[in-house]
C-alpha cells in the first residue's frame, strides 16, 4: 500500500516546471547529482533526503519511489561515478597502445579528475572512508574500487608480455601500489603530501624496464 502511495505521487511529480514529462532515467540522474553535491558540501553525515528532494524539485514520495532506501541512494551515486569514469575512459582511443601507453592514459585520466572534476574526488573519498566502517557502503563501493585495481593489474600483466615493464614485476602488487599512491594523493589529508606530476613519474619509473648500463 505504501509503495502504491509513493508511486501515485511520483507519477504526478514526474513533470518539470515547464510541463515536460521527465523520464525515470533523467530523474535518477538529477537525484544522483544532487546527492553528490550535498556530499561535497556537507559530507555523507549531512546527506538528507529532504535536501535532495528540495534540490531536485520533487517531493519526498517521488524521491522514495526512485531510491527507497539509503542503500539504493548510495548505489545510485556509485553508479553515477562509474558512468562518469567509463565515459572519461572512452574519450581517448586505447586501441593498439602498449601497456606503458595505457598506463600513461590512466594517469592522464587521473590528472584530469584532480584538475577538472575535484567533486568526484571528494565524493569517492567520502564513500571509501565510510566503507571502512559501514558494511552496506562497503558492499556497494568495493566492486567499483576492485574494478579500478583490476584495470591496473591487466595493464601491468600486458606490460610484462610486451616488454614495457620488468619481467619480474608482480602485477597485483604493482596495482595495489599504484592505486594506493593515487588515493593518498587525492585525499591530501595531511600537509605532508607528494606533488602529482613527480609522483606519477616515479610510479612509472618503478615498473618500467631499466636501461642496460653494463654495455657501451
Summarize pLDDT for 41-60 with one digit per residue, the tens.
998 888 899 999 999 999 99
Following DSSP, what letter does each residue of the chain receive, concatenated? -HHHHHHHHHHHT-B-TTSPBPPHHHHHHHHHHHHHHHHHHHTGGG--HHHHHHHHT--HHHHHHH--SHHHHHHHHHHHHHHHHHHHHHTS--TT--HHHHHHHHHHHHHHHHHH-HHHHHHHHHHHHHHTT-HHHHHHHHHHHHHHHHHHHHHHHHHHHHTSB-TT--HHHHHHHHHHHHHHHHH--SS----HHHHHHHHHHHHBPPP-TT--
Which residue has cell 602529482?
196
The b-or-e profile of 77-107 (16+ CB within 10 A means b, else e) is bbebbeeebeebeeeeeeeebebbebbebbb
The CATH number for 108's domain is 1.10.357.10
Average pLDDT over residues 65-75: 89
CA–CA dist 216, 214 (Å, integer): 7
Question: How much is the pLDDT for 174?
Answer: 97
Identify whether 215 is part of a domain: no
Summarize pLDDT for 85-95 with one digit per residue, the tens.
888 878 888 89
Same domain, 98 and 8: no
Same domain, 167 and 116: yes
Which of 68, 83, 111 is the endpoint of a domain?
Answer: 68
Give residue 162's pLDDT band: very low, low, confident or very high (50, 70, 90).
Answer: very high
Which residue has cell 620488468?
166
pLDDT at 12 over 60: no
Same domain, 116 and 64: no
Mean pLDDT of the chain: 83
Question: How much is the pLDDT for 165?
Answer: 97
Question: How much is the pLDDT for 212?
Answer: 57
Predicted model pTM: 0.75
Percent of the chain with pLDDT over 90: 46
Average pLDDT over residues 49-74: 91
Question: How much is the pLDDT for 127?
Answer: 87
Same domain, 54 and 84: no
pLDDT at 9 over 60: no
Same domain, 167 and 181: yes
Same domain, 58 and 86: no
The CATH number for 34's domain is 1.10.10.60
Region of poorest pLDDT, from 50-64, 163-177, 192-206: 192-206
Same domain, 101 and 200: yes
Identify whether 102 is part of a domain: yes
Amino acid at each position: 500500500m505504501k509503495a502504491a502511495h509513493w508511486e501515485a505521487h511520483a507519477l504526478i511529480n514526474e513533470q518539470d516546471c515547464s510541463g515536460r514529462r521527465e523520464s525515470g532515467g533523467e530523474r535518477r540522474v538529477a537525484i544522483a547529482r544532487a546527492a553528490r553535491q550535498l556530499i561535497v558540501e556537507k559530507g555523507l553525515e549531512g546527506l538528507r533526503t529532504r535536501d535532495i528532494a528540495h534540490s531536485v524539485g520533487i517531493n519526498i514520495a517521488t524521491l522514495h519511489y526512485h531510491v527507497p532506501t539509503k542503500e539504493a541512494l548510495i548505489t545510485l551515486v556509485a553508479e553515477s561515478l562509474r558512468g562518469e569514469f567509463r565515459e572519461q575512459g572512452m574519450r581517448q582511443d586505447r586501441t593498439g597502445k602498449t601497456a606503458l601507453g595505457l598506463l600513461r592514459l590512466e594517469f592522464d585520466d587521473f590528472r584530469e579528475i584532480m584538475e577538472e572534476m575535484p567533486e568526484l574526488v571528494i565524493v569517492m573519498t567520502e564513500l571509501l572512508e565510510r566503507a571502512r566502517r559501514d558494511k552496506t557502503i562497503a558492499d556497494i563501493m568495493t566492486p567499483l574500487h576492485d574494478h579500478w585495481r583490476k584495470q591496473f593489474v591487466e595493464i601491468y600483466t600486458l606490460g610484462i608480455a610486451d616488454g614495457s615493464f620488468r619481467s619480474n614485476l608482480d602485477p597485483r602488487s604493482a596495482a595495489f601500489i599504484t592505486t594506493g599512491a593515487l588515493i593518498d594523493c587525492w585525499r591530501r589529508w595531511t600537509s605532508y603530501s607528494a606533488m602529482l606530476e613527480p609522483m606519477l613519474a616515479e610510479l612509472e619509473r618503478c615498473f618500467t624496464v631499466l636501461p642496460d648500463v653494463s654495455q657501451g
